[in-house]
Amino acid sequence: MGYYTYIRDTIDFIEENLCEQISLELISSRLSFSPYHFHRVFHYLTGIAVMEYVRKRRLSLSVNWLANTDESIIDIAFKLQYQSPEAYTRAFKRNFGLSPSECRVKKTYDHLKILERLGEHQMTAMEFKGDIVMQPTMKLKPEFRVIGYELDTSKSNTTIPEFWNKYLSNDWPSTIPNWIDPARWIDLGICHNWKEDGSFKYLLGMEVTSFDNAPIGSVYKTFSSATYAIFTTPQVPRDVFVSSISKSWDYIFKVWLHQSEYEITEGPQFELYDERCQAHIDSQIDIYIPVKKKASYSDR
């Protein structure tokens, strides 16, 4: 069943405790996972970050109370663990586009985008559907530097595929100096700086020996040494290449992470694109996931 039992348990716990203090640390500790690992797994499987789910479920519950009770906005705010009525009002307006008082006066409840409790049909949809099986190699990658161009998913409506198109059509790779391997064109698509709301930064660029002469408008970052599980996607025709990458990520999150003795640790997750997917009929890439031994295995 993979992680689905844990997701069900987490949803039950959240729903039973919406009027109590809830934190990512509390939720993950109940399941003996690190907060970062559970944050990434929950977000990948459900499509929403765990604390974002808590926030939106609280706001959705408050809509029901506004519509069907005479409870004051102050009481609702404190009941749902907001530090002040003003904080609740700001969150409500940011989520629904109008304030709680406006909502109650105008009785516009049916037009609000309520987040319903995740149900069994969503759980079933999380199950892995595919025939991919991958065994990673484990590697300690030393500290490395990258020059590239960055997408902040919390501040942009641009999708990652659109960002790739911009990266290639503007020929940004050729502007990057100091390639780690001057003879090989190796692009890295790096997800990093994950936040509790599920947003992150996507850095598209190349590993370099130094930041000298980094082009104007580029971003340059140093990433710490970490142990990586490196997965090589199946070698497939170009017309199913993108689908193969997606299924590979599914296998990692829905099967391998649950079965293995490792969990995700903080650090960049990235895809490595080299000559195996450049001007070839059949293509494949490597997926790098920073990992550490699960607590249940680390003392063995």
Task: Report the pLDDT value the prediction gives residue 299, as an integer from 0 to 100.
Answer: 54
Task: Report the pLDDT value the prediction gives residue 138, as an integer from 0 to 100.
Answer: 97
Its pTM surpasses 0.85: yes
User: What is the rounded CA–CA span in Å between residue 253 and residue 188?
Assistant: 20
Residues 19-30: pLDDT tens digits? 999 999 999 999
Is a pLDDT exceeding 70 seen at residue 281? Answer: yes
Buried b (16+ CB within 10 A) or exposed e, 21-43: ebebeebbeebebbbbbbbbbbb
Q: Where in the chain is the domain with CATH 3.20.80.10?
A: 137-298
3.20.80.10, 3.40.50.300, 3.40.1360.10, 3.30.70.270: CATH of 137-298: 3.20.80.10
User: What is the rounded CA–CA span in Å between residue 70 and residue 47?
Assistant: 34
2.40.37.10, 3.10.150.10, 1.10.3720.10, 1.10.10.60: CATH of 4-125: 1.10.10.60
Tell me if 176 sits within 8 A of 218, measured CB to CB.
yes
Average pLDDT, the chain: 92
Q: 278 pLDDT band (50/70/90 cuts)?
A: confident
H or E element: which one contains 15?
helix 4-16
Tell me if 21 sits within 8 A of 15, measured CB to CB.
no
User: What is the rounded CA–CA span in Å between residue 221 and residue 117?
Assistant: 39
Q: 126 pLDDT band (50/70/90 cuts)?
A: confident
73, 84, 117, 123 from 79: Cα distances, Å: 10, 10, 19, 29
Q: 294 pLDDT band (50/70/90 cuts)?
A: confident
Residues 200-258: pLDDT tens digits? 999 999 999 999 999 999 999 999 999 999 999 999 998 999 999 999 999 999 899 99
User: What is the rounded CA–CA span in Å between residue 191 and residue 109?
Assistant: 37
DSSP string, 16-82: HTTTS---HHHHHHHTT--HHHHHHHHHHHHSS-HHHHHHHHHHHHHHHHHHH----HHHHHHHTT-
Q: Residue 290: how many CB atoms within 10 A of its CB?
A: 22
Residues 149-177: pLDDT tens digits? 999 998 888 899 999 999 999 999 999 99
Q: Where in the chain is the domain with CATH 1.10.10.60?
A: 4-125
Residues 13-69: pLDDT tens digits? 999 999 999 999 999 999 888 999 999 999 999 989 999 999 999 999 999 999 999
